[in-house]
Amino acid sequence: MLYGTTRHLETYRGIHPGVMRGLELLRDTDFSRLEDGRYEVDGENLFFFIQSYENKPVNETPESHRKYVDIQYLISGQELMGIAPLEDMTEVVEARPEGDIWLHHGPTDKILVTGDRFVAFWPEDAHAPGIAVDEPEPCRKCVVKVRVG
C-alpha cells in the first residue's frame, strides 16, 4: 500500500511505471471537466473511472484485486478507508474473478482520504473504501486501475 499526497509525487519516481503514470494522471487532470464514467488511457493496462456516491457508516467486506493496483483519490468529499494485509482476512465471502474483485471478512485499520491524498492498493492489500467520517456525505472519486498481473 502507498498512502501519500499528489504534492510529493517525485518521491515515488522509480516505482512501477504504470503506477507512476497513474499518480501523475491524478495530479495533472482537471476532474471538474469530466463526467462520471470510465476513461481509457492505455487500454486494459491503465484506465480510470470517476464515480459519484454517498459514503456509508460501515464497509464490512474489504476487497482485493489480483490483476490491478487500485489507486483511489477523492475529488470531493472525504472518507475513511479500512486497510489490512490480505493475509489478515479471515474468509472470502464473494469472488468475481471476471471483474478482478474478491470480497472478504476481516479486521482493518482506518485511514482518512481527502484533499490531495491518494491510496494505492497492491494485490496483497485488502481495502474497505467508502466509509463516512461522521455522517454519510456525497463524494466524488477517481479510481485508477494499473495492470500488474
Q: Please name each of the domains of the chain with its CATH number.
A: 2-147 (2.60.120.370)
Confidence of residue 22 (pLDDT cuts 50, 70, 90): very high
Cell numbers linked to 39: 476513461
How many residues are present in the chain?
Answer: 149
CA distances from 46 to 52, 79, 101, 110 (A): 21, 24, 17, 27
How much is the pLDDT for 149? 83
* Alpha helix positions (H), 102-142: none
Which residues touch 119 (CB under 8 Å, ≥6 apart)?
1, 2, 3, 71, 72, 81, 83, 111, 113, 127
Confidence of residue 30 (pLDDT cuts 50, 70, 90): very high
Average pLDDT, the chain: 96
Other Cβ atoms closer than 10 A to 10: 7
Task: Write out pLDDT tens, residues 67-94.
Answer: 999 999 999 999 999 999 999 999 999 9
What pTM did the predictor assign? 0.95
